[in-house]
Amino acid sequence: MAFDPATPLFFFRHGETFYNAEGRIQGQLDTPLSPRGREQAVEAGHKLGEALAAHGIGLDTPGWFASPLSRASETMILARRALAIPEDDFKRDGRLMEISFGAWQDLTWPEIGARDPGGFAARKSDFWHFRPPGGENYADVADRVRAFLDEIAGPTVVAAHGGVARALMTLIGGVKPEDTPGMPIHQGRLLVFTDGRGRWI
């Protein structure tokens, strides 16, 4: 079944990690939230409660899903705690994992530019389709996120990653893949998709 664009989807990115603070690439490495990231998760939970209420959706109505990487799952746990609902009552779905950066994981962008200048330049010229050595491209991520969306039957809450947010923006937010480089993906805020567009609150 295809995703119904009228179905509201509430997305929040995991809170800040120590890798985020250092500008280091995580990809599918399992990295923990920083203290600031845990605060952002609580902020996202409060925004989520307000948004669900504004849409007339009860807390027990949506499907709740998170990436199995701990920074996203912990963000979901903290957001649900902020809403005073059972913390671990959500599904972890591997299709919501961050894009894999392969051999580039655990490096900073300056380190990548120095070690792999050709790949670094190739990514700049074709952001959506370039795959780092041993990694994925954003089209790959969009394929697995599309498969996830096709199983959704009603309002949904997702806690995941920047790469998943970019995929969602192209699949259900009206953004072209070529317009995704440099697109801000906020932490501590909520991205609401409905009727073929996405907006940050």
pLDDT of residue 76 exceeding 90:
yes
pLDDT at position 2 is 76
Rounded Cα distance, 5 and 97, in Å: 22
Q: Is residue 31 part of a domain?
A: yes
Span 94-123, mean pLDDT?
98
Cα–Cα distances (Å) from 128 to 99, 163, 197, in that order, read 11, 10, 20
Span 78-106, mean pLDDT?
98
Total of domains in the chain: 1
pLDDT at position 3 is 86
pLDDT at position 62 is 94
Helix/strand number for the chain, H first, E second = 7, 6
Span 155-171, mean pLDDT?
98
Rounded Cα distance, 82 and 159, in Å: 14
pLDDT at position 88 is 96
Q: Is residue 2 part of a domain?
A: no
pLDDT at position 24 is 97
pLDDT at position 1 is 66
Rounded Cα distance, 63 and 93, in Å: 12
Q: Is residue 154 part of a domain?
A: yes
Catalytic residue, candidates 16, 43, 74, 98: 98
pLDDT of residue 86 exceeding 70:
yes
CATH number at residue 45: 3.40.50.1240
Q: Is residue 3 part of a domain?
A: no
Rounded Cα distance, 124 and 113, in Å: 11
Span 40-64, mean pLDDT?
97
Q: What are 116-128's pLDDT values in tens digits?
A: 999 999 999 999 9
pLDDT at position 85 is 98
Q: Is 98 a catalytic residue?
A: yes
Percentage of the chain exceeding pLDDT 90? 96
pLDDT of residue 11 exceeding 80:
yes
Catalytic residue, candidates 14, 16, 43, 161: 14
Q: Is 16 a catalytic residue?
A: no
Q: Is residue 1 part of a domain?
A: no
Q: Is residue 199 part of a domain?
A: no
Domain encompassing residue 61: 9-194
Q: Which residues contact 93 (CB under 8 A, 6 or more apart)?
A: 65, 66, 67, 68, 148
Return the amino acid letter for 70.
S
Q: Is residue 201 part of a domain?
A: no
Burial grade of 5 (CB within 10 A; 0-12, 13-18, 19 or more): middle
Q: Is residue 76 part of a domain?
A: yes
